Structures are given as C-alpha cells and as structure tokens.
Structure 1
C-alpha cells in the first residue's frame, strides 16, 4: 500500500444510501474503540451534513468534525482524491455492475484498500481479472461480497474447515430468512438487491467467457462428487422445503476454495447452496416467480418491467420504496452448513481417498437483519480487519473473495461477538453403510 500520509483510516462512500446509513453508527462505535479516524463521501455535501446530524441523535456522539468528501462515480478525479485521503474505502454505491469499477480503479491507482457488499459475480470476477495483478503491485486488498452476500456462507465454510479435524470433502449450505412476526423477510430487503439480481441473471451468459479467461485451468474432479439436487426436497437438518439457491454464494465460495488449492496446495471443498421455504405453496409460488423472472430478465423490455414493478413480479418481496426500520429490525437469518470428509489427512492435495467419507460436521451462522444489520456489521468489521490485521491477510495484496482474504484473521471471532454468531451443531462419525 502507498506510504503517503493519509488523513483518514476509513471513508464510507455512498454514506447517504440505505446501506451506508446503517454503516455509520457501526463505524463510529468500532472506530472509537480502535482509535481510528473516519469520514463520509458522496455526491451531495448537504445530504451528507444532514445525515451526520441524524446519526448524532442515534449515536449520542457529536459528529460535527467528521470529514465530508464530495465524490462522484462519474468524476474520476474526485474518486482519486477521495482514495488518496484514506487507507480503505467502504464502497456502498451499487449496483456495482454500473458503479463499482470506477471506485476500484481509483483505489488501485492511489494504493487504497477497498471493500464492498456486491453479490454480482460478473462484477466481482471482472475486478479479479482486471485488477488482481495491479492490486498486488500496490500491496492493497480489493474484497467484494463482504455483506450477507457472502460472508455468512463463505466464512461459514472456513469455520467448518477449522473445526473439522481431518479433510473436508464437501459442504451443503441451507439459507433461511424470516421475520419475527412470521412474515417473509423479503419485504425487509432493499431495491438494490432486486436490481442486482435482474441484471445478474439477464447477463449471466457473460460469465462463461469471463471464467475461461480468469480460470484457464480446470480444477481436478475430486470424488465423491457432491450432487446438486434441482427439485424441491426435504432435509433432516432443516425444517421446510429445500430449493437450489441461485445467488452469488456458490461462486464466491468456489473462488475461495480454488485459491486454497492453487496458492496453498489444499484440497478444495465442493459446495452446493440451497434456501428454505416453509410451505409447499411457497415453493409453487417461488417456482412460478422464478420462471417469469428468468424469462423476462433475458430481454431489455422484460428487465425494464421487472425493474419498474418489483412488487408485482416478486409477490411483494421487493419494493422500490425503502423498507421501514420496523420491518428490517424484525428480520432474521440463518445459514446451516453440513459437511462430510475424512478423519485422515493425505500428504498431497491431489491424492484421492480409497474409502468413502467417514466423518460429518454441521454448523450454523445466524444473525439479525440480513439486509442491513448483519450486512453492515460484516462490511464494517471486514474493512477494519483489512487495516488492523494486514499481516494476517494473503501476502502481497490482491483481489480476493472474503473467505480466502480473512481465513487467517480474527474476523469470525469478531463477528461472533457482534451478533453474527457461528456455532458447531454436531460432529460425528459416519457409518460405513451410508455408502
């Protein structure tokens, strides 16, 4: 990272957006504890001043002296000036497909660390392809997916690997979100998530070409292979119906595991991701929604309809109006992880086992308010970990997914102390008859 003198440790870019607003009280809390200096950035100085005034009432702390930086994603020089002022930028300006790269580019050019909450595989993998080497030259870290997408699942797998005494072969994840009053938690999710999903699916064909460039060498096919169950089904670990989860978690975890194999010579863990619905009627509704969504997202006219009328096309799960504080406060989530592997460890990552897996482990990651509470806790603590535990990060800098970036840091322990809890459910031997 650049050795130039920087006025601030952290800048929250897009601080008046919905995610940025929920980050500020956390930044104030943790920065005070660590004695770090922070500032806010965005397009409107007036809006930033007004929001800091609102935040003062919430935190009970005077924020009058918090630096305000005016920066715009359409003005490269303002982004570079912002990046020069801090050790790390917390970027809350999405969708990252359209607004993410200019901020990353400015950070790389100015030798500044960068984290964001993107759940967009095309953006994340493009940034890795274009900027990984440049980030290494500057000794900085560019880390996406530092929110609900995908720290609970990616670091959840890391948590299993640390707790599993042996070799972990595969992990299946089951994500569930709900509200305390029993309503769906979808209504507590910001419109930006819907927008990212529309463009992500609409341009999913870009991923094949991108991944051919990013990952020219295929990983070995380790056995036994973890199958993907495409039809709704039940699982003894969770209550409800289980369906494949089409979010970014799987692609993020697979990038982490590929890095462990290529850089650390560790056997990569296979992964499949699912989500849970309580009733079969919900399953039918979700399948209808999924069909309509997948067809419309492929065409510009259809994408415009999806973006204009999210309430109608999501059965009320999403809205263009920001969710109320009351609704998001009721939101809860859990990610249950089940892994299988062997008690024994073979000398080489490419060695094949001659016996079926003989050991299983299960864990759960859970927390409150996945859209803004847990997401902002994950994002802020990830950013602070980058600048306070740089010696425990992958050597030399680079563009990384969170699991690989934070595997050797204390981030899991920090999250566990701040309402994103990690716990082992059980660890047991598998009977030989299982296979």
Structure 2
C-alpha cells in the first residue's frame, strides 16, 4: 500500500466542503502536505477540482487523489480512513450515520478525526462511548470544529489570556445579520433544518448522555452567574436577547470541566444568548417557535415541518442550496462580556470575600459564518492536528476544540484569514 496521505477532506462537494477545499489547497501547499478529497460522486468531485484548478491556475490540482466513500457503505469508509493520517469530515447531518466513521473506521485504522458537527446528541455520544477507544488507538477525535463551537470555545480561551487574572463568568451575545437586507433566498441548507428537527425530536437522549459527561462534584462558584430566561435588552448590542441553547455552551462547559479536573483551573461560568435586532423579530421568533412546538410531537406534524422548511423558518432555510451571493451577504458578531478579578489567580476551591472588580468585552467578527467561517475553522482544525501535534493534549482521546487546540496557533490563524478578535473595552466593577 502506498504511504498514507496527510489529510483527506470527506464531503468535498457540499457547501462547507467546497469552501474548505480552497483553504486546504493553500495550507497544504505552504507546508508541502499530501492531501486528497472524498465523497459519493466522482463526477461532482471532479467538478469541484476543476473549479479549484481554474481559480488557482495550478495544473497539479488535477492529480489530487479522489476517494469514493459513502456513509451508508461501511467498506468504502474503511478504505477511505485507511488512506490518511487525518480525516476532515465535512458531511452532515451526523447523528444517524456519522458514528460509523469514528467507531468502525477511524479507530480501527488509527486515523485522527475532526468534523463540522453541531449536533449535541452526536457530539456527546462520541465523547461518552469512544474516548477510551480513541485513547487506546492513539488518535485524537475532535467534534464540533465548525464556526460556532470553535469560535465560542477558543474565543473564551483568548479572552482569558487577555484578561490577565481570573474570569468568574462570561455571557456571550451572538448577532447574525446581513449586509444587504433586500437580498432574498435561503441562508442555510435544508440539511441543517432537517438536523435541527431531528435533534428537537430526540432531545430526550441528551439528558442521559450529559449525566454521564458532566461531573456532579464541580465546585460551586461565587458569585453565581444568573441565567436570564426571559427576553431582555443587553447593553453591549442593540435589540433583544434570548437564551441560546445548543452545542456551543455544552462544548464550552466540557472544556471548563476538563481544565478543572486535569489542570486544577477554576472553571468559568458561562451563559449564551442570541440577539434579535427588533421587537417584531422577537414576536415572530415566538410565533414560529410555538408553531414548531405544536407540530413536533406528531408524525404528521414532523412531516409537514420537513416538507415546508421555508415557511416554518421565515425563509431562513429552503429546499434549494443558498446562493453564493446570499452566503457572502451574511455576517456575525459574537460579543463576550466577562467579569472577574484582575491580576489575581484564584483556585477552584478558594473562598473569596470580595466581589469581582474587573470586566472585559471581547468581540469576534467575520463574514459568511455558516459556510466560509465554518470551512475555515474545520480545515484549520485538521491542519493543526497534522502540523502541531506537539501542542495537543498529552494523551489521545475525544476532545473539544478548546481542549485540543488551546495551545496551538488557531486564534492567530483565524485572525490571519479574515476574522477579527478585538478587546472592545475593559472596565472596573465598583459595586
């Protein structure tokens, strides 16, 4: 058998994959790494590579290895993972079919793995069931390497570095918007909508999984961070803020638990919120949320939700793929509001008589979060797994992005590729 490729991008014909192949080409060229692409359709893969060759004017692109693989065909998955050192998984959704790639392919072939998943059930199941197997196989498995979890998890790490002290609590505010609000068409793939509905239907799985993950003996930190369950207007963004549930916070909390258990660091209390820019958006959000909640318990209702994504999402999702113009029209701002103690390192069990005295606001910005930024985060994760193995955790296993990549150059690399990480304000807390 020929020598293994350094990296394979699986799912190259999807939107994330098509953005990602450009980053993979440039990064591998810089470091002289070998790479290949994989997917179900040879015809579609060749079209992607032809476009890349046209853009780069590099005739060697035509020689990039093509591997045919389908998640419903276990043999093809095994053959794919046996051909590379690091698999970059851009396919989705993963809850129903992604497990075979980790369990029966990457672990058996001792291939490192990163993916773009944001499905809590899948992420948590991989953590619970395959950490020990991955450790024995000597591989690193890092789920949730797309836009949201990487930006949140590594954004918090960057904030703590800038804070120069001890962070007690962080609230995050995510704003998603458009440069030109008059453009029409879906913003996200229907597969993301289908995955969301699937997760809502199977949310009961999460409780049992997270009971196995989260340590019930974590320290009780004071002052405690209050959770705001009702809409409110924050001082850091215009509009209304609502509680944001999903994989972002649970991934961050897993990172904080690891740092407490393995490094004896004081955990950071975290809460995540989503911004809606006007009151009528909030009203629409509540109405659509109620409609979805009414439909979910019934088989016919779920069938209707899956058949009419545009109606039930106010056009955010659609049956056709988002246009390139619509993708590039979108942008995000993620604002961290941290409170703690400056120039003071406090242990996890240390009792304090003083309230937090210092605050910081950090903001991360970028364009096209759903696809361009997700692809960048994913490709950089696989690339750093290949090139900065000396900066990964000492023991292999299943990790969050904030654990796996906290000592790598990922924040600088993201900044170099168009994202901005800026401290907007530092302030004293007097009462």
Q: State TM-score, norm by structure 2.
A: 0.95
Q: Structure 2 CA distance, aligned partners of 1:157 and 1:144?
A: 18
- Find out whether 1:100 has 2:85 as its counterpart: no
Query: What corresponds to 1:279 in structure 2?
Result: 278
Query: What corresponds to 1:176 in structure 2?
Result: 175
Runs of 5+ consecutive residues of structure 2 not aligned to the other structure:
none
SS of the equivalent of 1:187 reads coil
Q: Structure 2 CA distance, aligned partners of 1:183 and 1:33?
A: 40
Q: Structure 1 CA distance, aligned partners of 2:3 and 2:220?
A: 47
Query: What corresponds to 1:255 in structure 2?
Result: 254
Q: Structure 2 CA distance, aligned partners of 1:213 and 1:229?
A: 26
Deviates more, 1:366-375 or 1:338-347: 338-347
Change (3 A) 1:392 1:299: farther
Change (3 A) 1:5 1:303: same
Shift of 1:216: 5.3
Q: Structure 2 CA distance, aligned partners of 1:14 and 1:102?
A: 15
Counterpart contact for 2:183–2:326, Cα < 8 Å: no
Q: Structure 2 CA distance, aligned partners of 1:94 and 1:32?
A: 27
Counterpart contact for 1:363–1:424, Cα < 8 Å: yes
Residues 136-177 of structure 1 show CA distances to partners (whole Å, capped at 9, x for unaligned) of 112211111111121111111111111111111110000011
Shift of 1:214: 2.7
Change (3 A) 1:184 1:117: farther
Shift of 1:213: 2.3
Runs of 5+ consecutive residues of structure 1 not aligned to the other structure:
none
Query: What corresponds to 1:154 in structure 2?
Result: 153
Q: Structure 2 CA distance, aligned partners of 1:208 and 1:32?
A: 44
Query: What corresponds to 1:353 in structure 2?
Result: 352
Counterpart contact for 1:71–1:78, Cα < 8 Å: yes
Query: What corresponds to 1:81 in structure 2?
Result: 79
Q: Structure 2 CA distance, aligned partners of 1:144 and 1:382?
A: 10
Query: What corresponds to 1:50 in structure 2?
Result: 47
Which residue of 4, 7, 28 corresponds with 1:10?
7
Which residue of 10, 26, 40 corresponds with 1:29?
26
Q: Structure 2 CA distance, aligned partners of 1:371 and 1:270?
A: 27
Q: Structure 1 CA distance, aligned partners of 2:8 and 2:257?
A: 31
SS of the equivalent of 1:188 reads coil
Change (3 A) 1:323 1:230: same
Residues 239-281 of structure 1 show CA distances to partners (whole Å, capped at 9, x for unaligned) of 1111111232111111111111111111111111111111100
- Find out whether 1:144 has 2:168 as its counterpart: no
Shift of 1:46: 2.4
Deviates more, 1:78-87 or 1:297-306: 297-306
Counterpart contact for 2:186–2:321, Cα < 8 Å: no
Q: Structure 2 CA distance, aligned partners of 1:184 and 1:102?
A: 40
Shift of 1:5: 7.1
Q: State TM-score, norm by structure 1.
A: 0.95
Q: Structure 1 CA distance, aligned partners of 2:154 and 2:312?
A: 32
Change (3 A) 1:255 1:299: farther
Q: Structure 1 CA distance, aligned partners of 2:152 and 2:184?
A: 18
Q: Structure 1 CA distance, aligned partners of 2:213 and 2:71?
A: 26
- Find out whether 1:375 has 2:374 as its counterpart: yes
Shift of 1:416: 0.6
Matches within 5 A, 1:407-426: 407-426=406-425
SS of the equivalent of 1:237 reads coil
Residues 96-142 of structure 1 show CA distances to partners (whole Å, capped at 9, x for unaligned) of 10121111121111111111111111100100111111111122111
Change (3 A) 1:354 1:183: farther
Q: Structure 2 CA distance, aligned partners of 1:131 and 1:6?
A: 27
Aligned length: 429
Change (3 A) 1:236 1:216: closer
Shift of 1:183: 5.2
Shift of 1:206: 0.9
